[in-house]
Amino acid sequence: MLEDNVADAELIKFALREGGLLFSLARVDSKTAFLREVEQNTPDIILLDYSLPSFDGLSALHIAQKSFPNIPFIFVTGTLGEEVVIEMLKSGATDYVLKNRLSRLVPAVLRALGEKEAREERHHAEERLRKSHEQLRALSVYLQYVREDERIRISRQVHDELGQALTGLKLDLYWLATRLPKELKSIQKKAKTMSAHIDTTIQTVRRISTELRPGILDDLGLSAALEWQAQEFQKRTGIKCLVVTDVKQPIMDEELNTAFFRIFQETLTNVIRHAQATRVEVSLRKTGRSLQLQVQDNGRGILEHEMNDTKSIGLLGMRERAALLGGTLHLKGTPGGGTTVTVKIPIARPKEIEIAYHENTHRG
Ligand SMILES: Nc1ncnc2c1ncn2[C@@H]1O[C@H](COP(=O)(O)OP(=O)(O)OP(=O)(O)O)[C@@H](O)[C@H]1O
Ligand SMILES: [Mg+2]
């Protein structure tokens, strides 16, 4: 309580006690004492007189608010002009009570404390929400990383181990076939079909391995991988797919390449599933310090509500992938005029993003 009049202070205490409050109260009447009290004991509520000989309530309010924005301030004063009341409330005072109407004090105090508690509760709830959001984000990074890592591993194993086993089998079969008696025509023939069968199996193994993780992405870089994927897409769907790029030097950044490549695949899958397009134009460009991929189809055009639907997990995943590397994903749809997906990711990422990414992905 900032109050210079001892008798008034006693009356105020009396009113609080009469109102059934249990409290401890420190009365101060100078700036130094006020500051010391607020700093050391962080009160639940501050009662202020408006004018004191050496200090005034409004200055006290301004000072204390800086360090303790959440403490309620109630002015307890003699008669007040309207402008003063307005100034007080504008400055962030919670309430004011006239000294000749002290019956209003306890209700005012209780209301102020109730509001303070609600504010703190809301703040905690927001904090919990933010935390859980952060954890979900970290989890999603981790899952994406694990998935990619597993794909790379399985892809290599399938390619190397199955590939080698099949090649070995083929050589053995050849060895056997050359030693078969010429007159055993049907067995010779059987050996031939077996060999052909092994060849197609080798092709299948290569295809599965490439679908899991195209080696071209790691060997020749992003541009080559996008071109390869576009050709595959065109072959499979009959939808024309053109890639233009001004990125001639391969960028050997595995995370960046993976993000762009997986976003591209997801975009093409959406074209097949939703767009009813006949043509897709893809561009990969360097713009300043970022790499920008743009995929434009000539289909029905994505609708506003489809972009923002919380169930759009595919789009959400693409956005997350870009955001994880400090980038952005932008969608644009024109009814009947196609959809454009634009992804932009910085090539050299700030240290913090790099660190966050690695902390999230390289656990264990
Ligand atoms: N190229 C496109 N043209 C028109 N509509 C599209 C296009 N891409 C996406 N959409 C619309 O946006 C929606 C959300 O896409 P999103 O990829 O998030 O989900 P999805 O493809 O339906 O399912 P999944 O989660 O398996 O990817 C789609 O259901 C579709 O209605
Ligand atoms: Mg999709």
205 shares its domain with 231: no
Tokens of 116: 């303070």
pLDDT tens for the 364 residues of the chain, in order: 999 999 999 999 999 999 999 999 999 999 999 999 999 988 999 999 988 888 888 888 888 888 888 899 999 988 778 888 888 888 889 999 999 999 999 999 999 999 999 999 999 999 999 999 989 888 888 888 899 899 999 999 999 999 999 999 999 999 999 999 889 899 999 999 999 999 999 999 999 999 899 888 988 899 999 999 999 999 999 999 999 999 888 888 888 999 999 999 999 999 999 999 999 999 999 988 999 999 999 999 999 999 988 788 899 889 989 998 999 999 999 999 999 999 999 998 766 666 666 666 655 4
34 shares its domain with 50: yes
329 shares its domain with 195: no
Distance 275 CA to ligand 2 centre (A): 11
Asked whether residue 139 is assigned to any structural domain, the reply reads no
Please state the φ and ψ torsions of residue 55, each to the nearest 5 degrees. Answer: -155, 165
Q: Ligand 1: does its nearest atom lie under 6 Å from the Cβ of 271? A: yes
272 shares its domain with 329: yes
What range defines the domain where residue 100 resides?
A: 6-119
225 shares its domain with 355: yes
Asked whether residue 136 is assigned to any structural domain, the reply reads no
Asked whether residue 271 is assigned to any structural domain, the reply reads yes
The pLDDT assigned to 278 comes to 97
Asked whether residue 99 is assigned to any structural domain, the reply reads yes
Q: State pLDDT tens for residues 80-132.
A: 788 888 888 888 899 999 999 999 999 999 999 999 999 999 999 999 999 99
Name the residue with tokens 């401890």. Answer: 24
Distance CA 251, CA 214 (A): 16
Tokens of 16: 């609080």
Tokens of 160: 């190397």
Residue of the CA atom closest to atom 2 of ligand 1: 275
Q: Ligand 1: does its nearest atom lie under 6 Å from the Cβ of 312? A: yes
Distance 105 CA to ligand 2 centre (A): 61
207 shares its domain with 233: no
Asked whether residue 131 is assigned to any structural domain, the reply reads no
Asked whether residue 307 is assigned to any structural domain, the reply reads yes
Which residues hold their Cβ within 5 A of ligand 2, which is an ion?
Answer: 270, 314
Instruction: Give one DSSP letter per residue of 143-209, joined into a string.
Output: HHHHHHHHHHHHHHHIIIIIHHHHHHHHHHHHHHHHTS-TT-HHHHHHHHHHHHHHHHHHHHHHHHH
198 shares its domain with 307: no
Q: How many structural domains are present in the chain?
A: 3
Nearest bound ligand to CA 302?
Answer: 1
Distance CA 275, CA 314 (A): 14
Q: What residues form DSSP beta bridges with 51?
A: 56
How many residues in the chain?
A: 364
220 shares its domain with 352: yes
Give Rg (Cα) of the chain. Answer: 36
CA angle 42/104/67 to nearest 5° reads 20
Q: Ligand 1: does its nearest atom lie under 6 Å from the Cβ of 302? A: yes
Asked whether residue 133 is assigned to any structural domain, the reply reads no
260 shares its domain with 171: no
The pLDDT assigned to 364 comes to 40
Half-sphere exposure of 316 (CA within 13 A, CB side): 10
The pLDDT assigned to 357 comes to 66
Q: Ligand 1: does its nearest atom lie under 6 Å from the Cβ of 279? A: no
Tokens of 4: 């210079």
User: What's the CATH number where 264 sits?
Assistant: 3.30.565.10
CA quadruple 63, 67, 72, 76: dihedral, nearest 10 = -20
Distance CA 116, CA 327 (A): 39
How many whole angstroms from its chain centre is CA 273? 26
Is pTM beyond 0.75? Reply is: no
Q: Provide the greatest CA pair distance for the chain.
A: 128
CB distance 297 to 338 below 8 Å = yes
Instruction: Give one DSSP letter per residue of 201-255, joined into a string.
Output: HHHHHHHHHHHHS-HHHHHT-HHHHHHHHHHHHHHHH--EEEEEE---SPP--HH
CB distance 331 to 338 below 8 Å = no
The pLDDT assigned to 348 comes to 82
97 shares its domain with 233: no
Asked whether residue 129 is assigned to any structural domain, the reply reads no
228 shares its domain with 327: yes
* Boundary residue ending a domain (193, 212, 231): 212
CB distance 256 to 322 below 8 Å = no
Q: Ligand 1: does its nearest atom lie under 6 Å from the Cβ of 296? A: no
User: What's the CATH number where 78 sits?
Assistant: 3.40.50.2300
* Boundary residue ending a domain (119, 154, 187): 119
* Boundary residue ending a domain (212, 234, 269): 212
CA quadruple 38, 42, 47, 49: dihedral, nearest 10 = 0
Name the residue with tokens 């083929």. Answer: 170
Residue 258 to residues 76, 103, 231, 253, 292, Cα–Cα distance (Å): 65, 70, 18, 8, 14
